[in-house]
Structure 1
Amino acid sequence: MSLMLLVLAAATAQPPAIPPQVQIIAESGKYVLRTLDGAKPLYTFDKDAPGKSNCVDRCLAAWPALVAPAGAKATGKWTIVKRADGSGQWAFAGKPVYTFVRDHDSTASGDGMAGVWHLLPTFPTR
């Protein structure tokens, strides 16, 4: 019986470790990452440097940073980068993470915008 449970557990993909401001939603056979507040999609920006956000001013008004509160700790592929103003921002695999102000109710209207904005990767549920 325990061998059977082990095989079943191994056959099901486990979602990644995530920060407290992020939720994992199973959707169409995959896990997607969304904000905990509002289920907004999460994006990366090609013009960022590894571990550094280059989205400021007007860019930041349209693409709000996923804020890492004081005392937040890195988990799995999630780290924290320090923004120019000293605040913390969540980063996934070294890339700072953002939301998009035009997204509502899990829509992902910013994916591919200007060829530099991309949704975080999805993960198979199996």
Structure 2
Amino acid sequence: MKTLLLSMAVLATSALSAFAAEPAKMVDTKMGKILATEKGMTLYTFDKDAKDKSNCDKACLKKWPAFHAAAKAKAEGDWTLVKAADGKEMWAYEGKPLYMFVDDKMEGDMKGDGMGGVWHVAK
């Protein structure tokens, strides 16, 4: 009986750890709820991207760094992985690739919102 209970506990723990945490979090701002990195840096979408495809080239990525995924990250639910122009995997939410803005220096900065009429905070 002890062996069975121990086995069930190990199985339950393994199953729970198999569920990956979401790569970003929703935070409350003056603009409502937006997506941000775990460190609180604002995430953005680019109007020129296609569903599940980044159209931000290498020069663009210098100003708008891709929100890269960890090496063993797995897509789940609304979170998918797409290739950035630098060849690395990046996160997309509901099919929209996600980026940070180089001029955002502190948690909560949203300096990139509305830039060029094509960059928007991710919601």
Same fold (TM over 0.5): yes
SS state of the match for residue 36, structure 2? strand
Q: What is the deviation of 1:74?
A: 1.7
Q: Distance in 1 between matches of 2:81 and 2:75?
A: 6
Q: What 5-or-longer segments of structure 1 have no aligned partner?
A: 1-16, 122-126
Q: What 5-or-longer segments of structure 2 have no aligned partner?
A: 1-19
Q: Which amino acid aligns with 1:33?
A: L
More helix by share: 2
The answer (yes or no) to whether the contact 1:78–1:90 under 8 Å persists in 2 is yes
Task: Report the counterpart of residue 114 of structure 2 in structure 1.
Answer: 112
Q: What is the deviation of 1:19?
A: 2.4
Q: Size of the alignment, in residue pairs? A: 103
TM-score between both structures, scaled by the size of structure 2 = 0.72
What is the CA RMSD across the aligned residues, in angstroms? 2.3
Residue 104 and residue 56 in structure 1: after superposition, are their counterparts in 2 closer, same or farther (change >3 A)?
same
TM-score between both structures, scaled by the size of structure 1 = 0.71
Structure ranking higher on relative contact order (CA contacts 8 Å, 6+ apart): 1
SS state of the match for residue 81, structure 1? strand
